Chains A and B, each alone.
Chain A
Amino acid sequence: MTALNAGIFTLVGALLVALIALAIALSSRPEQPKDGVTARVYRVRRAYFVVLGVVLLACLGLTLPRAPYLAARSAVPPDIRVAVTGWMWTWRFDAISGDRVLVEPQNLTIPAGKLIEFSVRSGDVNHGFGIYDDQDHLLTQVQAMPGYTNQLRYRFPAPGVYHILCMEYCGYAHHLMMTTIHAE
């Protein structure tokens, strides 16, 4: 599921809402006594209630399983473990396990297609570890919080350069806190 889908879905929904609003606004005339009208509105409302309930339940059913939490806690070991620490205003990588990992504190090189587990934490304030591909799509993210370690699992789909931006406001140079990951 991508941000583009979210945008299209919202746009279509917003246009639909606007159309319905227009129809309601135009329906104010001709005038009719309230008593007959109310029953009609309530009939539509009952149908809407049922439809909305079904749609919401369906969306919950479809989307909740895609939440990242259970994968992050899975007992299956990842191929590679990397520790990530956010500082004001840089990222630092440390290898925990796995071969073929090249770690310089500022620059990480990992194999594409392998399951990587990032253990993300912060050395000072809250930061956000956001992974972008070279076409600027935000692929996934997790927060870096002092006192906690957030485990994020990700498989880099293809070799290339990935950009890391900070996704939680962290003060003066928040907009400059970035680094890259190379997948090969």
Chain B
Amino acid sequence: MNVNESALPQIRKQTVIWLGTALALFLVLVLLGLVMRLNQAGALHATPDLFYAIMTLHGLGMSGAMFMSSIAAVWYLLSRYIKPYAGLMWSSYLLIVLGAVGLVIGTLVGRFGPGWYVLYPLPFASSIWPAWATGLSVISLVLLGTGWLLAQLTLLGSLAQRYGAGNLLGWQYFTSRQPSVPIPPIVLITVISLISGALTTVAGAVLFLLYIAKWLNDALQFDALLLKNVVFLFGHTIVNITMYLGIAAVYELLPKFTGRPWSMNRVVAISWNTVLLFVLGAYFHHLYMDFAQPVTLQYLGQILSYSSAVPATVVTVFGVGAQVYRSGMRWSFVPLSFFLGITGWVIGGLAAVVDSTIALNTVLHNTLWVPAHFHTYFVLGYLLILLGMTFHITESQRESRAMAALTTMVVGGTGFLLMFYLGGVEGVPRRFAGYLGIDSHTLSATAQLLAQIAAGFVVLFLLGLLVYLAALGRKRTAAA
């Protein structure tokens, strides 16, 4: 049902600008990723302050760019159902861009480098970067957070306007097969994601306001364990719901290619409601090595992390299976990138579940295993879905070029990730500007070698990315 036919071209244009911004950021941030790997390989010699500033920008920028793209895509897809508030979305865009510019200056110029989760009290305890860099970066994070919150609340508000707040969580499906207010799966998944997103963004905003207070008055002291909980509640959730929003888009778009409706029912409703609980509680697995954390929360972290595998695979993976099996569909670029993206997400999820096992976390925590698993569900998961969505939304036509790009990126990405995993198995710590200082010679040699091989694969990945960008847009035909 198309309630906003006339507004669509406008919204499409706005979406394309959001997606274009996100992809441009992505390209630059992959280059920074390559710089980091080359530095770890010993081929570049950035000073540690520059390396860690780049690392901080890469991490924050990637999480932000990916989240921004996921919001834009579901906003576009939802605009068929709901009243879009283009003005509010532009304000959000402006805040995000301002925040991004501030962060670039704070990190690259000011050398603000406490890492993407800006763990208290490192942003303040460093004599490496000047106080203005801390202030500017934290204020930029507040701007970013405000922009995200605005976009999330705008979407939630217009969804509530259309369906009634009481129906948004799909509880009407618990009791009835044919409820009086039906909602499509994309609405439910978006709502689940944005409720957790908005709540935790508020938590993140409070955190960064405390940071500003501390920046203004250094005598203030906070509880490091409490703030660590807040940081991960926020960071873990934002990163996870980016993936969920991508999946919401797959629920909406894959049926266009298989020709089969992907409808709501009780199982879908119940399982996505459990996700709300799991996503908010799973972050405890980031604090396993903080033995001062209450033990119950530690065990709860593993139980909730394991549990999140249930709705993810039982409902989404089998849903994809039911879409594809005997559908007679043609594997063109868009459905193939969705399909590979879901596969990558499941594999990354498996590596995450392994890491969320406390007994294994003692040997995997803060090794390269950690970037290995979350890069899996981004580089081979969400990103592939994003490429498919963007291709679809921009009505691009260069199929074979896009297919070649996809193949190259999957090969390059897999090799890049494999080196992270091997590093994890070898116990190479994450976030090392270089490995030469390690007093054990074999560990440092292994770590360097893996970084060298990884850098080669990243170059391949980048080539694929450029080919993909060149595949975007409509073909110019002589007749037109």
Interface residues of A (CB under 8 A from B): 1-7, 9-10, 13-14, 17-18, 21, 24-25, 27-32, 34, 37-38, 40-42, 44-45, 48-49, 52-53, 56, 59-60, 63-64, 66-70, 72-73, 88, 124-126, 128, 130, 132, 134-143, 145-152, 163, 165-176, 178, 180
Smallest distance from the beta carbon of B343 to chain A beta carbons, Å? 4
Task: Verify if B125 is at the interface (C-beta below 8 Å from A).
Answer: yes
Checking B52, B326, B350, B362 against A28 with a beta-carbon cut-off of 8 angstroms, the contacting residue is B326
Known: A69-B291, A126-B122. A3 touches B424 (CB 8 A): yes
Which segment of B19-27, B147-155, B166-174, B303-311 sits at the interface? B303-311
In the bound complex, how far is the Cα of B338 from the Cα of A24, in angstroms? Answer: 13
| B354 lies within 8 A of A136 (CB) | no
| B224 lies within 8 A of A174 (CB) | no
In the bound complex, how far is the Cα of B294 from the Cα of A148, in angstroms? Answer: 12
In the bound complex, how far is the Cα of B443 from the Cα of A5, in angstroms? Answer: 19
| A66 lies within 8 A of B350 (CB) | no
Known: A3-B425, A32-B326, A70-B295. A60 touches B302 (CB 8 A): yes
Tell me which residues across on chain B come within 8 A of A171, comparing CB atoms.
52, 113-114, 122, 125-126, 128
Tell me which residues across on chain B come within 8 A of A126, comparing CB atoms.
119, 122, 224, 228
15 contacts between A and B (CB under 8 A): A3-B364, A13-B350, A14-B347, A18-B343, A28-B329, A41-B325, A52-B310, A124-B121, A125-B126, A128-B365, A141-B289, A171-B114, A174-B432, A175-B438, A178-B437
Tell me which residues across on chain A come within 8 A of B357, comparing CB atoms.
59, 63
In the bound complex, how far is the Cα of B340 from the Cα of A29, in angstroms? Answer: 18
Tell me which residues across on chain A come within 8 A of B121, comparing CB atoms.
124-125, 146
Tell me which residues across on chain A come within 8 A of B164, comparing CB atoms.
none
In the bound complex, how far is the Cα of B319 from the Cα of A38, in angstroms? Answer: 10
Smallest distance from the beta carbon of A25 to chain B beta carbons, Å? 6
Known: A68-B362, A69-B291, A72-B291. A28 touches B429 (CB 8 A): no
**What residue of chain B has the Cβ atom nearest to residue A140's Cβ?**
B362
Known: A21-B339, A171-B122. A66 touches B358 (CB 8 A): yes
In the bound complex, how far is the Cα of B443 from the Cα of A18, in angstroms? Answer: 31
Known: A45-B314, A128-B366, A171-B126. A59 touches B427 (CB 8 A): no
Size class of the contact patch on chain B: 35 or more
Smallest distance from the beta carbon of B262 to chain A beta carbons, Å? 11
Interface residues of B (CB under 8 A from A): 48-49, 52, 113-115, 119, 121-122, 125-126, 128, 223-225, 228, 258, 260, 289-292, 295, 298-299, 302-303, 306-307, 309-310, 313-314, 318, 320-322, 324-329, 331, 339-340, 343, 346-347, 350-351, 354-355, 357-360, 362-367, 369, 421-422, 424-427, 429-435, 437-440, 442-443, 446
Known: A67-B298, A172-B49. A10 touches B366 (CB 8 A): no
| A1 lies within 8 A of B359 (CB) | yes
In the bound complex, how far is the Cα of B364 from the Cα of A178, in angstroms? Answer: 18
**What residue of chain A has the Cβ atom nearest to residue B358's Cβ?**
A67
Tell me which residues across on chain B come within 8 A of A7, comparing CB atoms.
421-422, 424-425
| B440 lies within 8 A of A163 (CB) | yes
Those 5 A-B pairs whose CB atoms lie nearest each other, nearest first: A31-B328, A138-B427, A66-B359, A175-B432, A7-B425
**What residue of chain A has the Cβ atom nearest to residue B117's Cβ?**
A169
Tell me which residues across on chain A come within 8 A of B324, comparing CB atoms.
24-25, 27-28
**What residue of chain B has the Cβ atom nearest to residue A72's Cβ?**
B291
Checking B225, B303, B437 against A148 with a beta-carbon cut-off of 8 angstroms, the contacting residue is B225
Instruction: Beyond A24-B320, A88-B125, A141-B366, list 10 extra A-B contacts (CB 8 Å).
Output: A1-B363, A7-B422, A14-B350, A24-B325, A41-B321, A136-B426, A137-B363, A143-B290, A148-B224, A151-B291
In the bound complex, how far is the Cα of B105 from the Cα of A100, in angstroms? Answer: 54
Known: A48-B314, A136-B427, A165-B438. A2 touches B326 (CB 8 A): no
Tell me which residues across on chain B come within 8 A of A1, comparing CB atoms.
359-360, 363
Known: A27-B325, A28-B327. A60 touches B303 (CB 8 A): yes
Tell me which residues across on chain A come within 8 A of B128, comparing CB atoms.
171-172
In the bound complex, how far is the Cα of B431 from the Cα of A123, in angstroms? Answer: 21
| A141 lies within 8 A of B318 (CB) | no
In the bound complex, how far is the Cα of B427 from the Cα of A132, in angstroms? Answer: 9
Smallest distance from the beta carbon of B261 to chain A beta carbons, Å? 8
Smallest distance from the beta carbon of A120 to chain B beta carbons, Å? 8
| A29 lies within 8 A of B440 (CB) | no
Smallest distance from the beta carbon of B314 to chain A beta carbons, Å? 5
Smallest distance from the beta carbon of A32 to chain B beta carbons, Å? 4
**What residue of chain B has the Cβ atom nearest to residue A46's Cβ?**
B314
Smallest distance from the beta carbon of A131 to chain B beta carbons, Å? 10
| B367 lies within 8 A of A3 (CB) | yes
